[in-house]
């Protein structure tokens, strides 16, 4: 999905710079900026999700140990 969003953003920016009317140029520029922000957030979400630890890696006991400030049994680094 993020690649489609990136392609649409680039397409909107290309259309912005090829328009001769001010209204069309402003419309495509706004869509390009909104798409750029959405694309950056989509890529950031994917990168964060790729490096996030799975919720099922620690047992309930290990989570209680962490909350108490102690080392869990399945301590991984």
- pLDDT for residue 16: 93
- pLDDT for residue 27: 95
**Phi, psi values for residue 59, rounded to 5°:** -80, 175
Q: Spell out the per-residue pLDDT of the chain, length 77, in tens.
A: 899 999 999 999 999 999 999 999 999 999 999 999 999 999 999 999 888 777 667 778 888 888 888 877 765 55
Enumerate the domain spans of the chain. Answer: 2-67
- List, in sequence order, the alpha helices (H) in the chain: 2-18, 22-51, 60-67
- pLDDT for residue 55: 63
């Amino acid at each position: 999905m993020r690649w489609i969003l990136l392609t649409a953003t680039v397409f909107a920016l290309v259309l912005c710079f090829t328009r001769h009317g001010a209204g069309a140029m402003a419309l495509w520029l706004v869509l390009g900026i909104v798409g750029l922000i959405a694309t950056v957030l989509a890529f950031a979400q994917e990168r964060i999700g790729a490096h996030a630890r799975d919720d099922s890696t620690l047992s309930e006991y290990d989570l209680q140990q962490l909350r108490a400030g102690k080392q869990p049994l399945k301590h991984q680094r």
